[in-house]
Structure 1
């Protein structure tokens, strides 16, 4: 049995996710901050992380990457289009938060293309879903009927495209051609706010009307 939980972290409460099995092995999506508290919570519940998967490399999704990576000695996965972002405060936008910005070490593994990704006992279909950022990816986990989509699609909203490297048409194409093609009962685990479903967003999302 595989389950997941949402954990808002960091200065803007971006959603991290913990996907775990009956043995408490887990993958961590987008650990955005509060590294010590997040580590302690995982250890209290005997969660054993085996990898960090990043939907994209904006500051609010990567703030605890190195802390969690080092605490559990696990690798980080990131799309190749944002290979340099972890170490570049201008690209990850943390320069807008503090004078020095924020950096993390490079990813251990780069995601290239829309392949299947197996991490320990977990398997995902990767979808390239740019528009909010050029390397945004969504991880579809068929066993739980969940897509971990970062800041691509929200409940009644879509990701920002007014940030550097954002593009609204590209984002809408990503949503329409990738996420809305998933089964309608798929849960969308969003980067901010509550989860939703593909069906709900097809029917009710005002940004997607007319697609």
Structure 2
């Protein structure tokens, strides 16, 4: 499996193009906008998009989902259903943050803790990690030791919890009780900023470090 991180929107949100190298089938995780840029990357890599995966319902992560799904007839997989209120509020989010108008959507499949999703022959485990939003999910590849964590965890920081239905202690518990047990060797792609590893954050992250 290979991945390409493509920052999109004025918030420089990390959209991930995830590719199964056996089949050349691919998924876009959190296509928040700038669809021309994303589709150019798909074309350059000569892969076949088969799905859109969503970690949570915030605008910078899902702003391009409805249009991309409509253009290419792609299924929308995720997040967990508790984020439905965020997705329904997308038009209001656009007005509030000065983004181009974006339609809300209904996922083809809601996800729950313990589910799995496939990209080609690759399997990703689904981990429900509320706190930043109530329906936030993380995608984890046990074979690649890679997690796509959205806005749960960042290099040196954690997701905000001051949005509607965010909760600080719930987020801390999600990180320490659900992510750390996966192993320190796991590398992660956050929703913004550079990659890191769980071991690095356990040592040095001032919010959730164990040192």
Q: TM-score, normalised by structure 2?
A: 0.91
The 2-side partners of 1:115 and 1:173 are apart by 20
The 2-side partners of 1:122 and 1:76 are apart by 17
Q: Which runs of 5+ in 1 are unaligned?
A: none
**Aligned counterparts, 1:88-99, within 5 A:** 88-89=89-90, 93-98=93-98
The 2-side partners of 1:86 and 1:76 are apart by 12
Q: 2:138–2:149: 8 Å Cα contact kept in structure 1? A: yes
Q: Tell me the equivalent position of 1:54.
A: 54
Indicate yes or no: 2:114 matched with 1:107: no
**Aligned counterparts, 1:40-79, within 5 A:** 40-78=40-78, 79=80
Deviation track 1:66-124 (CA, whole Å, cap 9, x = no partner) reads: 2322333210012111234323237x833421398633321111113322333442211
Indicate yes or no: 2:13 matched with 1:14: yes
Q: 2:150–2:191: 8 Å Cα contact kept in structure 1? A: yes
Q: Tell me the equivalent position of 1:80.
A: 81
Q: Which runs of 5+ in 2 are unaligned?
A: none
Deviation track 1:138-166 (CA, whole Å, cap 9, x = no partner) reads: 11111211011100000000000111111
Q: Tell me the equivalent position of 2:180.
A: 180
The 2-side partners of 1:196 and 1:82 are apart by 26
Q: Tell me the equivalent position of 1:144.
A: 144
Deviation track 1:33-88 (CA, whole Å, cap 9, x = no partner) reads: 10122112212321211111100010000111123223332100121112343232
Quote the RMSD (CA, aligned, Å).
Answer: 2.0
The 2-side partners of 1:161 and 1:102 are apart by 24
Distance of aligned partners of 1:41 and 1:120 in 2 relative to their CA distance in 1, 3 Å threshold: closer
TM superposition shift of 1:10: 1.2
Q: TM-score, normalised by structure 1?
A: 0.91
Q: Tell me the equivalent position of 2:197.
A: 197
Q: Tell me the equivalent position of 1:163.
A: 163
